[in-house]
Amino acid sequence: MRTTDVVIVGAGVMGCSIAYHLAIQGTDVVVLDRLPQVGAGSTGLCSGGVRHQFSHPLNVQLSIESIRKLANFEDEIGQEIEFHRDGYLFLLTDNELVENYRDAVDMQQKLGVESRIVSVEEITQLTPPLALDDVIAAAYCPHDGVVDPHGVTSGYARAARKAGVQIVLDTDVTAVITNRDQVAGVETAKEMFSAPIIVNAAGPWAATIGEMAGLSVPVQPFPRYVWVTRGFENAPSDWRMVVDAASSFYFHREGEGVLMGMGAPDEVSSFDDHVDWSFLDRLIEVGTRRYPALADASIQTAWAGLYEVTPDHNPILGVAPNLDGYFMATGFSGHGFMHGPIVGEIIADQILGRQPRIDVSAFGLNRFSRTDLRTEQNVV
Ligand SMILES: Cc1cc2nc3c(=O)[nH]c(=O)nc-3n(C[C@H](O)[C@H](O)[C@H](O)COP(=O)(O)OP(=O)(O)OC[C@H]3O[C@@H](n4cnc5c(N)ncnc54)[C@H](O)[C@@H]3O)c2cc1C
């Protein structure tokens, strides 16, 4: 049996960021992941978008601090992350959407974010040629952008290892050991790890790691597909993320073409991570209506990843109510990559008994026993 201060289950952006932020303060940390590489779960399959534009003020606060940390990442961590700060633009097609996004923009501005509602004329200056006949306005923030998820995760992993963290790959956590109401360690297929603190950073698999400790962690996996095209005429010249808010069709530049995806109202929870090519027809129908030039694009590659969704589309952060030493950083509902930097710092502070600079108690596990959940509306 190996003994350490903290065991983190999951070597995605969350696990690696938490490990780094703990290790630079002298904590002994082991990170376990069943996959052969760091960031090979949802993190490595995500679209890399980072944005301030949320409807829940706590998500906006997390974005403000995370994006600050990303802006400083190369100096702090010494890793190139290809941070393209060309903004996010949400196209709005009905009055209710405009009102909801206007309320969110008002709240974001009060928190210091330079988001704003823009006219159709301004949209035409910010995008490649789009069909905008049904668009009323857009919500825009020039300080949002797109970042390389591999760069961020491998950067944190390398810096964590340098500070003494052991990242043990190809290692499946099979049980969480508890002693009355206190965690005591984990079992893996290979060996046991004894620790008074366990962090569940298992992304879409977080419910299983919760069950191992007798906890109900309401995180469900939902498959999402990403398609990348080859270059085509009228492909975007910059990296601005454009989202059609009503359909959730989104795209941003990737190579000479675009990276694009879309949710579906009838999607069902599953761990199936194969690309459903029949969904491409639905995406192309919506996508070419909005962005006619896409009709000339050919698909270069595609992949599937899993969103990790909670009932209110907000993450689950902090210690479990009735199990000392069991921390969670999961349930980011499809927008967790961007919050990795600040969540790593916050969870490290909580573990070390320090007051984090953002109070995330509203995102505690115990909120699900209430009926007045505040749902995040701006999910893509
Ligand atoms: C298609 C797609 C697009 C996305 N786009 C964006 C975006 O633009 N912006 C954004 O911010 N977010 C985006 N996301 C969401 C983002 O990817 C996730 O919120 C984020 O990566 C979660 O990170 P994580 O470290 O919590 O989870 P993960 O990266 O999934 O890491 C969890 C790790 O836990 C490991 N694990 C699980 N169970 C066990 C076990 N029993 N034993 C050992 N290891 C275990 C897994 O192997 C995995 O490596 C997207 C997601 C998808 C699928």
| Statement to judge: residues 227 and 355 lie in one domain | no
Section 104-114 average pLDDT: 98
Domain CATH number, residue 135: 3.30.9.10
Shortest-distance atom of ligand 1 to CA 172: 42
Q: What atom in ligand 1 is closest to the CA of residue 307?
A: 53
Say how many Å lie between the CA of residue 293 and the centre of ligand 1: 32
Domain boundary among 290, 309, 328: 309
pLDDT at residue 265 above 90? no
∠ CA 253-255-260, rounded to 5°: 40
Domain match, 94 and 238 both: yes
224 with 270, same domain: the answer is yes
Instruction: Assess whether pLDDT exceeds 90 at residue 268.
Output: yes
Which protein residues touch ligand 1 with a CB less than 6 Å away?
A: 9-15, 32-35, 40-43, 45-49, 172-173, 201-205, 224, 226, 261, 305-308, 330, 332, 334-338
* pLDDT on residue 328: 98
Q: Does 168 map to a domain?
A: yes
- 318 and 214 inside one domain: yes
| 29-59 per-position pLDDT tens digit | 999 999 999 999 999 999 999 999 999 999 9
The Å distance, Cα 240 to ligand 1 centre, comes to 23
Per-residue pLDDT tens digits for 220-239? 999 999 999 999 999 999 99
Q: Which atom from ligand 1 is nearest to the alpha carbon of 14? A: 25
**Residue 64 within any structural domain of the chain:** no
Compute how many other C-beta atoms are within 10 angstroms of the C-beta atom of residue 168: 16
Answer yes or no: is pLDDT of 78 > 90.
Answer: yes
Tokens of 269: 């929870």
What is the domain range of residue 337? 2-48+149-218+312-369
CATH code for the domain of 200: 3.50.50.60
Report if residue 226 sits inside a domain.
yes
Q: Give the residue-averaged pLDDT of 176-200.
A: 97
For residue 76, is it within any domain? no
**Domain end residue (candidates: 309, 337, 354):** 309
The answer to whether residue 66 is domain-embedded is no
pLDDT of residue 188: 97
Same domain, 237 and 134: yes
The whole-number pLDDT of residue 130 equals: 97
What is residue 371's predicted lDDT score, i.e. its pLDDT?
Answer: 85
Each residue of 279-303: pLDDT tens digit? 999 999 999 999 999 999 999 999 9
Q: How far apart are CA 20 and CA 38, in angstroms?
A: 13
**274 and 332: one domain?**
no
Can you tell me the distance from the alpha carbon of 242 to that of 234, in angstroms, rounded to the nearest whole number? Answer: 14
Mutate to test the pocket of ligand 1, among 43, 228, 242, 251 (most ligand atoms within 8 A of CB): 43
Name beta bridge partners: 167. Answer: 31
The DSSP secondary structure of 7-44, one letter per residue, reads: EEE--SHHHHHHHHHHHTTT--EEEE-SSSSTTTTTGG
Question: Alpha carbon 129 to chain centroid distance?
Answer: 29
**Ligand 1 atom nearest 209 alpha carbon:** 41
Whole-number Å distance between alpha carbons of 144 and 5 = 36
Q: Is residue 196 domain-shared with residue 300, that is, in the same domain?
A: no
Number of domains in the chain: 2
User: Mean pLDDT, the chain, as a whole number?
Assistant: 97
Residues 159 and 298 in one domain: no
Alpha carbon nearest to ligand 1 atom 27, residue = 203
Q: Both 353 and 248 in a single domain? A: no
Helix (H, G, I), strand (E, B) or coil at 67: helix
The answer as to whether 189 is a domain residue is: yes
Which whole number is the average pLDDT over 233-262? 96
349 and 287 in a common domain: no
Calculate how far, in angstroms, residue 57's C-alpha sits from the geometric centre of ligand 1. 23
- 284 with 225, same domain: the answer is yes
81 within domain boundaries: no
Do 137 and 18 belong together in one domain? no
The pTM score is 0.98
**Residue 80 falls within a domain, yes or no?**
no
Give residue-wise pLDDT tens across range 339-365.
999 999 999 999 999 999 999 999 999
| Gap from CA of 105 to ligand 1 centroid (Å) | 28
